[in-house]
């Protein structure tokens, strides 16, 4: 009596594997027998093996078809969600980049503050913001250029490297991203903040928590001194950022630029952070400040520090322009010109190379 080997998609995995093994073994025996000129399997067994093989092939094809159909559906869904407007994509990237920066930066401040420096110290805050900037740049650089700062966007517009039309859209996206980042940190650390402050959301005092989100001046700092502090810090920031992007000066590989941007923020923090928290960024300060205003800290967020709130809005923009002007006037403007009229022609260059090979001093640019 012939053996029947039947495969069904309803069978368990172990049964399928066992019967598949038997089928393969039988087919192997048949092949060996046919090679030796022997006939071991009956016609019924051979027909059953063929049907089983056909059934397996059809089932595998059906599963592959269902899988590819699912992939196609996902691709169609993603295509429908795809935004084709370049400005909208850039604004979304800026928003997400700033969100990451605030999430890591203010999250570090929240951890250090609510743990009373048991889970971090001042250096932890500097590292948190530095790495937040680094990963914020990684997230958005390929889409929007990773400005992450209205002062940076303004400076690039002044240099003619960014359209003025995009300035308000970038600025709003950056502020909104900072607001969302602060809201996330506030939600994540809500219980810790209330526990630390005794259930009160305060702006000043020993258990003040508004400083987790936005910057406030030290008690000794005047408005004028704080304004100058922000101008100097942001000028240093823009000067370094322009140097990082100046290929005729440093030629830094693209993959290193986000790391060095974060290192710039780190060194500014450890050298200039004690006066007022080194905001250096209108979006970084105003977005979280507005969050604290509507989340329960109240009007004091705008009254504290003798009305300090406007300084991180205005001073970084001026400081960014100062740093841009310094770098342009002292470094970038003195690079060799790339204009065609100032460069030797191809013919002159070829002639010079020929003379050099012949041992004759070239005279390009010299009068005869």
- The residues spanned by each domain of the chain are 13-81, 88-333
> Which regions of the chain are under pLDDT 50?
1-11, 13, 37-39, 339-340, 344, 346, 349-350, 353-358, 360-368
* Contacting residues for 97 by C-beta, under 8 A, at least 6 apart: 136, 137, 139, 140, 141, 144, 146, 148, 177
Which residues have CB under 8 Å from 319's CB, separation 6+?
A: 151, 230, 231, 232, 233, 234, 235, 237, 238, 280
**Which of 278, 222, 267, 217 has its CA nearest to residue 241?**
267
What pLDDT shows up at residue 220? Answer: 95
CATH number of this structure's domain 88-333? 1.20.1080.10
At residue 25, the pLDDT reads 64
Q: List CB contacts of 150: < 8 A, sequence separation 6 or more.
A: 167, 170, 171, 174, 175, 281, 282, 283, 316, 317
| pLDDT, mean over the chain | 83
pLDDT of residue 82: 87
The pLDDT score that the predictor gives to residue 71 is: 67
**pLDDT, tens digit (0-9, with 9 covering 90-100), for 153-205:** 999 999 999 999 999 999 999 999 999 999 999 999 999 999 999 999 999 99
Position 29 scores a pLDDT of 65
From the list 152, 64, 87, 108, the residue with the least C-alpha distance to 273 is 108
* Angle formed at CA 133 by CA 127 and CA 134, multiple of 5 degrees: 85
**Cβ atoms of residues 147 and 91 within 8 Å:** no
């Amino acid at each position: 009596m012939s053996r029947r080997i039947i495969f069904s998609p309803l069978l368990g995995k172990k049964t399928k594997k066992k019967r598949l093994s038997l089928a393969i073994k039988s087919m192997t025996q048949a092949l060996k027998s046919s090679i030796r000129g022997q006939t071991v399997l009956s016609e019924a067994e051979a027909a059953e093996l063929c049907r089983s093989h056909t059934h397996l092939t059809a089932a595998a094809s059906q599963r592959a078809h269902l899988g590819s159909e699912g992939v196609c559906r996902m691709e169609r869904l993603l295509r429908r969600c795809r935004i084709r407007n370049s400005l909208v994509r850039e604004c979304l990237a800026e928003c997400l980049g700033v969100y990451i920066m605030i999430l890591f930066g203010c999250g570090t401040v929240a951890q250090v503050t609510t743990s009373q420096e048991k889970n971090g110290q001042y250096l932890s805050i500097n590292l948190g913001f530095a790495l937040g900037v680094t990963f914020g740049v990684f997230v958005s650089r390929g889409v929007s250029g990773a400005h992450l700062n209205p002062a940076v966007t303004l400076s690039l517009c002044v240099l003619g490297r960014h359209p003025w039309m995009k300035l308000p859209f970038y600025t709003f996206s950056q502020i909104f991203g900072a607001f969302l980042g602060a809201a996330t940190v506030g939600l994540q650390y809500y219980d810790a903040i209330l526990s630390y402050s005794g259930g009160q959301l305060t702006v000043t005092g020993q258990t003040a928590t508004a400083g987790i989100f936005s910057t406030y001046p030290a008690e000794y700092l005047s408005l004028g001194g704080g304004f100058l502090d922000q101008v100097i810090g942001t000028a240093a920031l823009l000067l370094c950022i322009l140097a990082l992007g100046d290929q005729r000066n440093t030629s830094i590989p693209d993959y290193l630029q986000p790391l060095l941007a974060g290192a710039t923020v780190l060194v500014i923090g450890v050298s200039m952070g004690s006066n007022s928290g080194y905001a250096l960024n209108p979006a970084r300060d105003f977005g979280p400040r507005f969050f604290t205003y509507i989340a329960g800290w109240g009007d004091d967020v705008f009254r504290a520090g003798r009305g300090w709130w406007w300084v991180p809005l205005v001073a970084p923009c001026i400081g960014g322009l100062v740093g841009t002007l310094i770098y342009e006037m002292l470094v970038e403007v003195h690079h060799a010109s790339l204009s065609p009229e100032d460069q030797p022609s191809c013919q002159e260059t070829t002639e010079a190379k020929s003379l050099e090979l012949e041992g004759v001093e070239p005279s390009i640019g010299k009068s005869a």
